[in-house]
Structure 1
Amino acid sequence: MNRRTFGSAARLGVLSLAALSFAALAVYFANRHVTETIVKHQAAAKRPTPATVPVVVAKFDLIAGEAVGPDNMAIRPIPVDLAPSSSLRPDQFDAKAGMRLARALRSGEPLLTEILQPAEPAGLSSRVRQGIRALTITVDDVNAVSGMLRPGDRIDLLYSARSPGADGTPAVETSRILVQDVAVLATGRQFKPAAEDNGNRAFTSITVELSPDDAQRLIVAQRTGRVTALLRNPDDRHAVSTKTVDANALLGLDPRPAPGPSRPAIRSGPEMIVGGGGALASSRQHPDRDAALVSPTGPIPQGVSLPPNNSPAGIPLPGRRVSDAMQPDRVSQVPSAAAQVPLPQQPLLFR
């Protein structure tokens, strides 16, 4: 065996010995680890299980202000020694549902009572249906059914006013149904029925639910008359047909005025009666004859002429127009030519 071959065999033996040593160490440590694990499990099995308690925890991360409810909360058991004293139990959750978080809550973190704050109460606007309006009207003890109205009741609204009479008749009190089956949303500032409300609570206004058209009519009714609430049975939702009632109908009176005594016809304007020769002429009965010639003794003889602007003291002469003779600018002394004209045989009468 040469020297080179011996050296190679020695190195191979050393490497094999080292490999066997490492393998033995690996087996030893593996066996030790398995043994220790078995011992730990056996020791853990011998120890009693720690007591747990169910608490309400967050299903996922929640931000401050979110409302807690079944959709974001769950029930999980945790060890008693790890459960906070203020953690919420399942039997307490129903009373806290709907409250809001005062701070953020991580997933799996127990819900604590001190991080819950009351939810803001929903306003009246959330109770008004779409397309409907809420209107507040002033009431007193009489037209509020003696204060017995409560939110949720249904009423009719009666309108009363003094209606002007027709054909000169005096004004009379009139009443009619304005709207029917109206829901009462609030009485005063209360919009939730109170369990202890015995009907003695005082309020001066009610808020009702109306369509926009009925709201306009009710506003006009408040300004022009009196509105009275009529309480309905909650199961009676049918509209009734009613008539307008006034004081005359209640008392059985005839609203038409009694006819007064007849008066003689009053004549207007002056009336002139001209006598002579059996003929009468009236300026009122025959106004178209104002421009006609008045001749009580017959036609004017031929060859006799009258001055155009002369008449004795405004008295019409035969053959003159009555309207011309009555004008003052034509009154003058009778000329000599007028003496040739015969005067009327009967006096002239004026009225």
Structure 2
Amino acid sequence: MRAVFGLVLIVGVALAGFAVYMAQGFIANTQAERNALMAEMAKQVDLAQVLVVKSDKAYGDTLTADDVVAIAYQKDHLPKGAFATAAALFPEGQPKTRTVLRPLDANEPILASKVTAPGEDAGLNSRLAKGMRAFTITVDVSSGVSGFLRPGDRVDVYWTGEQEGTQVSKMIDSAVKLIAVDQTADQNGDFQAQVARTVTVEASSQQVAAFALAQSTGKLTLALVGTNDDTPADAVEIDRNRLLGIEKPVVAEVAAPRVCSIRTNKGGEIVETQIPCTN
């Protein structure tokens, strides 16, 4: 019996030791998993709600509440002009539609710059900045950059006409924004070079007056400005003589001969008599 008791005691101690070992391993694994989870949670970023479109939207498409859905977006990197709620996108008391100004891909955030105000269409009035006007300039293949202009581009405007009896070409404005080419105002549509007959620019009232006068007295030509070109434009003017390197003859001014005279009263009549000038 003693041998059996001793054997049972040894087995019990062994099992207890194994249980302690397994418990320590489980606790260590649990602590490691907890630490890893806490480390991952520390890496988590703050999220915010933002509205996106459910499907692709093209220029001119109508946007309604059924076309949008809210998703979580990294708060620190929210795009400027994003909408957080349907109430912000379609305010109370205003029309419940907007019009797409730039193509939107599915799940792309809706930005204020890519849609019109509530109820507005995609017409030019929605593209004009406050205080600006739309002015149309007639162009052809030579004056319109061979058809490579598109809405959103910036151009320098040159006037060519007659001034003081000679042909002159001068830049009358720089980096003017195009808002339409012919009847197209879509900045992101399929682009194919084609010769436009008219372009519409965004201009102040003062610029409109200058363009109108310039267009009626000569020819306007456009020069495309590079996308990232922010170099200030200098005043540019050239006439035919300067273009051909012709210098105008200098005409010397000939002084008129000096005339001296005296006046005398002869019988009540004033008589003027020329005399040599002494000084």
Question: What TM-score do the two structures reach when normalised by structure 2?
Answer: 0.49
Larger fraction in strand:
2
Higher RCO (CA 8 Å, separation ≥ 6 residues): 2
Question: What TM-score do the two structures reach when normalised by structure 1?
Answer: 0.40
Kindly name which structure, 1 or 2, has the bigger radius of gyration based on alpha carbons: 1
